[in-house]
């Protein structure tokens, strides 16, 4: 508890004190409150500096920091990071292969992940770009109920890309 804020707080003659059980002890002098806190083996911690008078609480600072860190770790653990999964296809994909890829796309979107659909062109397939556009349009129509198109089909070299994200 060092630094300018602590010094300003010490200089304020009175603070509203809340004990370790959450009971309001009322307004008292800062030194008196610090002595009471030390008597309990706790620290006097400023909770609300902008109040008039400032609010301070009896706390065990080490335990307080430990609890705050534990809460932060739990929050970090429970949040889901959104990954980008990639599905690769060819413009003249067979129906059964297409269905298998669509199952994977539906599974990924159901898990909350984005899906990047990559269409690879080899050799002279590149001259038939409309086949690729038709296939990606079909993918878009088949996933319309649970996904939206985040980035529409575009060419990148010999690949056509489209990104789907969950609704």
* Residue after which a domain boundary falls, among 77, 102, 121: 77
What is the layout of strands, in order, in the sheet containing 159-166? Answer: 84-89, 114-120, 159-166, 147-156
Amino acid 3: pLDDT? 45
Please tell me the total count of domains within the chain: 2
* Residue after which a domain boundary falls, among 77, 109, 133: 77
Task: State whether 90 and 69 are in the same domain.
Answer: no
Task: State whether 90 and 158 are in the same domain.
Answer: yes
CATH number at residue 159: 3.30.110.10
Q: Which helix (H) or strand (E) covers residue 155, if one does?
A: strand 147-156
Q: Is residue 81 predicted with pLDDT exceeding 90?
A: no
Q: Specify the 3-state DSSP secondary structure of 106.
A: helix
Task: State whether 64 and 97 are in the same domain.
Answer: no
Which of the listed ranges 28-32, 47-51, 95-99, 123-127 does the model predict with the highest average pLDDT? 95-99
Rounded CA gap, 5 and 11, in Å? Answer: 10
- In the chain, which ranges are continuous DSSP H helix? 4-11, 30-39, 61-78, 95-110, 129-142
Domain that holds residue 142: 84-166
* Residue after which a domain boundary falls, among 26, 50, 77: 77
**pTM of the full predicted structure?**
0.55
- Hunting for tokens 């909350």 — which residue is that? 112
Buried b / exposed e over 77-110, threshold 16 CB at 10 Å, is: eeeeeeeebebebebebeeeeeeebeeebbebbe
Task: State whether 104 and 69 are in the same domain.
Answer: no
Task: State whether 161 and 105 are in the same domain.
Answer: yes
Instruction: Name the band, by pLDDT with cuts 50, 70 and 90, for residue 40.
Output: confident
Strands 159-166, 114-120: parallel, antiparallel or unpaired by DSSP?
Answer: antiparallel
């Amino acid at each position: 508890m060092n630094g300018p804020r602590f010094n300003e707080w010490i200089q304020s003659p009175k603070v509203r004190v809340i004990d370790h059980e959450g009971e309001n002890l009322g307004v008292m002098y800062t030194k008196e409150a610090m002595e009471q806190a030390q008597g309990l083996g706790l620290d006097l911690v400023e909770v609300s500096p902008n109040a008039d008078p400032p609010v301070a609480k009896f706390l065990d600072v080490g335990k307080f920091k430990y609890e705050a860190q534990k809460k932060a770790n739990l929050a970090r653990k429970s949040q889901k990071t959104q990954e980008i999964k990639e599905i690769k296809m060819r413009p003249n994909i067979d129906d059964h292969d297409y269905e298998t890829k669509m199952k994977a796309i539906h599974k990924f979107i159901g898990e909350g992940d984005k899906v990047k659909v990559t269409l690879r062109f080899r050799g002279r397939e590149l001259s038939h770009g409309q086949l690729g556009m038709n296939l990606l349009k079909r993918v878009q129509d088949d996933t319309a109920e649970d996904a939206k198109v985040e980035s529409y089909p575009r060419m990148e070299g010999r690949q056509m890309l489209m990104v789907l994200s969950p609704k």
